[in-house]
């Protein structure tokens, strides 16, 4: 995703947002974010990015094989080659999934050979610097970086691998935002003086609500989503995804489609009636147990 510069000054207070709100508002973020700026230490505006045209083929490349590095190179070649995206002197950010403390064999993170192949191609195309980072759920990201195999592979390929800086999330307004008017975005992924090209490299996995995790959900790590450690034991976690995961089990494992549909209906009804936790409800938010009981009672009343 290459960018150019444009913008105006911003500084705002942070509020909270749920994963559901993020997905709903993703189009607004994509359309409105990359036309802003904020002040640097010298008082001058620091511009953010706007997508700019590139010469990659506008099509989907599908490759098969047993060597991830070679497959990655073939896929990029099918789209015209990395030099159609990366120009000489560009600073490139490669955003893989290395959030989980799991080895490559388990497939929880992006394959390290895919990441190293992308780094090599960016440098071959003339990139001045390639950065690799991820926002992990753990307060200590080192174990995930190393266990995934990505950190070591990226360093060998010539990339700058570092951790997300907790203070690197300025809050930015989103012009014409509907579900989301402002939020904190990671500056190394959006500021003009930090990055020229952003390459999003998710690993495709199933998910309880989106069914398949790909680019949109994955780029949420570029905003300040934090972890769940700060809400443990407070009774404010949203239980909707747990119920929707059960619905998937009913539908796909047991072929109980009627029951699965009822669970979806119950969760949707709780959202429609604003009977939900504080991550979604701004008016009279409920505790986790209250929302759970409401959904269970809705299902029991249907008596199917």
Q: Could you tell me which of 271, 193, 177, 186 has the C-alpha nearest to residue 3?
A: 193
Q: What pLDDT, in 10s, does the model give residues 267-294?
A: 999 999 999 998 888 788 999 899 999 9
pTM equals 0.62
pLDDT band, very low/low/confident/very high, at 59 (cuts 50, 70, 90) = confident
Backbone dihedral angles phi then psi of residue 127, each to the nearest 5 degrees: -55, 135
Q: Are residues 92 and 139 in the same domain?
A: yes
Structure tokens, 273: 């009636």
Cα–Cα dist 170/163, whole Å: 17
Helix (H, G, I), strand (E, B) or coil at 46: strand
The bridge status of strand 197-201 relative to strand 91-96 is: parallel
Query: Of 193, 227, 261, which residue is a domain's last?
Result: 227
Q: Are residues 39 and 99 in the same domain?
A: yes
Q: Are residues 176 and 125 in the same domain?
A: yes
Cα–Cα dist 105/116, whole Å: 16
Q: Cite the DSSP H helix spans in 88-213.
A: 112-124, 142-147, 150-157, 187-190
The bridge status of strand 3-6 relative to strand 45-51 is: antiparallel
Q: Are residues 91 and 239 in the same domain?
A: no
CATH number, position 23? 3.40.50
Query: Of 227, 258, 286, which residue is a domain's last?
Result: 227
Cα–Cα dist 7/218, whole Å: 25
Backbone dihedral angles phi then psi of residue 248, each to the nearest 5 degrees: -65, -40
Look at the block and give the residue holding tokens 């706007």. 50
Q: What is the pLDDT of residue 3?
A: 39
Q: What pLDDT, in 10s, does the model give residues 149-158?
A: 999 999 999 9
Q: Are residues 84 and 8 in the same domain?
A: yes
DSSP result, 260-294: HHHHHHHHHHHHHTT-S-TTT-SSS---HHHHHHH
C-alpha dihedral, 78 to 82 to 84 to 88, nearest 10° = -170
| Contact yes or no for 260/248 (Cβ under 8 A) | yes
Q: Are residues 182 and 249 in the same domain?
A: no
| Contact yes or no for 143/102 (Cβ under 8 A) | no
Highest mean pLDDT among 8-22, 26-40, 240-254: 240-254
Q: What pLDDT, in 10s, does the model give residues 213-239?
A: 666 655 655 555 544 545 656 788 888
Look at the block and give the residue holding tokens 């949109």. 216
| Contact yes or no for 145/98 (Cβ under 8 A) | yes
Q: Are residues 169 and 291 in the same domain?
A: no
Range of the domain at 97: 3-227
Q: Provide the domain count of the chain.
A: 2
Q: What is the pLDDT of residue 21?
A: 44
Structure tokens, 44: 């001058």
Give Cα separations from 202 to 107, 114, 196 (angstroms): 11, 11, 19
- Is the pLDDT higher at 214 or at 148? 148
Angle in degrees, 0-180, between the axes of helices 112-124 and 68-78, rounded to the nearest 10: 50
DSSP result, 183-249: EEB-HHHHBTTT-SEEEEE---EEETTTEEE-HHHHGGGGB----SGGGTTTT----HHHHHHHHHI
> What DSSP character marks residue 172?
E
Give the chain's count of helices (H) and strands (E): 10, 11
Q: Are residues 243 and 179 in the same domain?
A: no
Q: What is the pLDDT of residue 35?
A: 32
Furthest-apart CA atoms within the chain: distance in Å? 66
Q: What is the pLDDT of residue 205?
A: 72
């Amino acid at each position: 995703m290459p960018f150019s510069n444009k913008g105006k000054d911003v500084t705002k207070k942070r509020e909270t947002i749920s994963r559901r709100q993020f997905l709903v508002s993703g189009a607004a973020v994509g359309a409105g974010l990359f036309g802003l700026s904020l002040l640097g230490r010298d008082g001058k505006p620091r511009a953010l990015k706007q997508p700019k045209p590139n010469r990659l083929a506008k099509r989907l490349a599908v490759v098969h094989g047993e060597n991830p590095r070679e497959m990655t190179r073939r896929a990029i070649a099918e789209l015209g080659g990395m030099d159609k995206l990366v120009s000489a002197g560009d600073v490139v950010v490669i955003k893989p999934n290395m959030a989980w403390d799991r080895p490559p064999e388990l497939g929880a993170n992006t394959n390290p050979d895919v990441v190293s192949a992308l780094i090599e191609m960016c440098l071959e195309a003339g990139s001045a610097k390639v950065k690799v980072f991820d926002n992990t759920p753990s307060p200590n990201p080192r174990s995930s970086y190393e266990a995934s195999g990505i950190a070591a592979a990226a360093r060998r390929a010539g990339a700058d691998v570092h951790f997300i800086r907790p203070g690197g999330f300025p809050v930015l307004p989103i012009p014409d935002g509907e579900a989301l008017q402002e939020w904190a975005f990671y500056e190394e992924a959006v500021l003009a003086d930090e990055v020229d090209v952003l390459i999003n490299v998710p690993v495709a996995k199933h998910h309880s609500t989106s069914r398949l995790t790909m680019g949109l959900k994955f780029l949420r790590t570029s905003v300040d989503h934090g972890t769940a450690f700060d809400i443990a034991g407070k009774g404010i976690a949203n239980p909707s995804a747990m119920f929707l995961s059960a619905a998937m089990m009913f539908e796909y494992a047991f072929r109980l489609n009627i029951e699965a549909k009822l669970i979806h209906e119950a969760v949707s009804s709780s959202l429609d009636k604003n009977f939900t936790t504080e991550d979604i409800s701004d008016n009279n938010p409920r505790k986790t147990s209250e929302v759970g009981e409401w959904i269970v009672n809705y299902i029991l009343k249907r008596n199917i």
